[in-house]
């Protein structure tokens, strides 16, 4: 059985995943609104189920945002660095526009089809349900904030919910939001969804696009900033996220890893806490010294060998019998009377030794090379 090698997704792979996911979401969701005759249940379930399916498909690559509002909420909530926001949002807008163009082309298959007002676009005021613009704005802000709170909660590290159930919870929440808002605004909570079909739906739809861009982004910002305050932070934020626009340190906390402090050994690493680089390893109490040679193993007595005789007095390891100090120089012996030392007579030196030098040096020590 071969081991699975997990590689880090590249920027191009994330861009492709977000483009594809947003395309499928807008195409199927708005397509259900256009081709089902505006069936509320069919449209709401299609949007929700599409998020579930595409999150399972490509969520491991990009996180499965498919929505600029989700990306903004994620970065303000500490889940994504700012330097990836442009890539995500560009991919999402591209996917939405491609889906709108495909829907327009397929719609022309009907005789007499007109795109104006028939692209599943969002609406308010006289051009739609008659809902006031300020009410539509507040509704979209509230629904987007609730949607982002749910996403941040489901993906929180402290949440004991199985990670495989996360996309299902997010998709069901999106379907619930559509059940409420379809009769009022057509339900946006996603600027890419609104722009993708709105630019093909006529002048009136284009004029109203501002509300469905501003309101979702505002709601996402509120949710991203307030989630850590209301519910706490599950882990250290990603470097360069939140209100930190500098990019952060490269060794800062990221999901699934930890920050390594300077001069502090990591688990399984070389260094030890508090040990400077190049210093000898610190010996812990009770541990053998790595610089001392190992002690030879103690020889165990052989039970079948011939018994050894008991050591006799005077042997090594036995106390010596007490003897009277009689030898000169021995501790406790009587002191010998002083005897003057006789001067040595000059004579032939022993073989192998240097003799005393000849001359008037009074026997002083000199170093000469032997003849």
- Residue 142 CB: number of other CB atoms within 10 A? 17
Structure token digits, residue 332: 């406790």
Q: What is the pLDDT of residue 86?
A: 96
The pair phi, psi for residue 142, each rounded to 5°, is: -65, -50
Q: What is the pLDDT of residue 202?
A: 92
CA nearest to 147, candidates 111, 178, 116, 184 = 178
| CB-side neighbour CA atoms (13 Å) of 273 | 5
Q: What is the pLDDT of residue 233?
A: 82
Structure token digits, residue 338: 């002083």
pLDDT in single tens digits along all 371 residues of the chain: 556 666 789 999 999 999 999 999 999 999 999 998 889 999 999 999 999 999 999 999 999 999 999 999 999 999 999 999 999 999 999 999 999 999 999 999 988 889 998 999 999 998 778 999 999 999 999 999 999 999 999 999 888 777 789 999 999 999 999 999 999 999 999 999 999 999 999 999 999 999 999 999 999 999 999 999 999 887 788 888 888 766 544 444 333 332 222 223 333 333 333 333 344 444 444 455 554 555 555 555 555 555 555 555 545 545 555 555 555 555 555 555 555 555 555 555 444 444 555 555 555 544 445 54
- Sign of the torsion formed by the C-alpha atoms of 39, 44, 46 and 47: positive
The pair phi, psi for residue 26, each rounded to 5°, is: -70, -40
Q: What is the pLDDT of residue 267?
A: 35
Q: What is the pLDDT of residue 166?
A: 92
Whole-prediction pTM value? Answer: 0.66
Q: Is 273 exposed, middle or buried (0-12, 13-18, 19+ CB in 10 A)?
A: exposed
Q: What is the pLDDT of residue 326?
A: 52
Q: What is the pLDDT of residue 332?
A: 54
CA nearest to 103, candidates 174, 192, 20, 197 = 197
| CB-side neighbour CA atoms (13 Å) of 27 | 18
**Which positions ≥6 away from 286 have C-beta within 8 Å?**
none
**Which positions ≥6 away from 359 have C-beta within 8 Å?**
none
Task: Look at the chain and count its residues.
Answer: 371
Q: What is the pLDDT of residue 340?
A: 58
Q: What is the pLDDT of residue 161?
A: 74
CA nearest to 67, candidates 28, 44, 95, 42 = 95
Looking at domain 11-231, which CATH architecture does it have? Up-down Bundle (1.20)
CA nearest to 38, candidates 149, 118, 95, 115 = 118
**Which positions ≥6 away from 235 have C-beta within 8 Å?**
157, 253, 255
Asked whether the beta carbons of 55 and 170 are under 8 A apart, the reply is yes
């Amino acid at each position: 059985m071969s081991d699975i090698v997990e590689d880090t997704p590249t920027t191009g792979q994330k861009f492709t995943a977000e483009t594809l996911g947003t395309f499928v979401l807008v195409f199927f969701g708005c397509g259900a609104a256009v081709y089902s005759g505006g069936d509320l249940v069919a449209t709401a379930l299609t949007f929700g189920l599409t998020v579930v399916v595409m999150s399972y498909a490509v969520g491991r690559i990009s996180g499965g945002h498919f929505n600029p509002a989700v990306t903004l909420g994620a970065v303000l909530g500490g889940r994504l660095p700012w330097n990836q926001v442009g890539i995500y949002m560009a991919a999402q807008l591209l996917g939405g526009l491609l889906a709108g163009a495909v829907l327009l082309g397929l719609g022309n298959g009907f005789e007499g089809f007109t795109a104006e007002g028939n692209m599943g676009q969002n609406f308010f005021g006289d051009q739609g349900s008659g809902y006031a613009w300020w009410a539509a704005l507040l509704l979209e802000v509230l629904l987007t904030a609730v949607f982002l709170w749910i996403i941040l909660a489901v993906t929180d590290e402290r949440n004991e919910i199985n990670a495989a159930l996360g996309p299902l919870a997010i998709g069901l929440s999106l379907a619930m939001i559509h059940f409420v808002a379809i009769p009022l605004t057509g339900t946006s909570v996603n600027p890419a969804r609104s722009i993708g079909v709105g630019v093909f739906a006529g002048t009136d739809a284009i004029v109203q696009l501002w509300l469905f861009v501003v309101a979702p982004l505002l709601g996402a910002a509120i949710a991203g900033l307030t989630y850590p305050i209301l519910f706490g932070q599950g882990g250290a934020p990603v470097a360069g996220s939140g209100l930190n626009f500098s990019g952060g340190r490269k060794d800062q906390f990221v999901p699934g890893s930890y920050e390594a402090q300077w001069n502090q050994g990591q688990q399984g690493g070389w260094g030890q806490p508090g040990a400077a680089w190049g210093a000898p390893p610190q010996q812990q109490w009770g541990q053998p010294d790595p610089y001392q040679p190992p002690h030879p193993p103690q020889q165990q007595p052989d039970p079948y060998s011939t018994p050894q005789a008991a050591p006799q007095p005077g042997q090594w390891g036995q106390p010596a019998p007490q003897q009277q100090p009689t030898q000169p120089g021995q501790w406790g012996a009587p002191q010998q009377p002083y005897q003057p030392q006789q001067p040595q007579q000059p004579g032939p030196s022993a073989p192998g030794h240097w003799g005393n030098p000849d001359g008037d040096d009074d026997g002083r020590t000199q170093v000469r090379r032997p003849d």
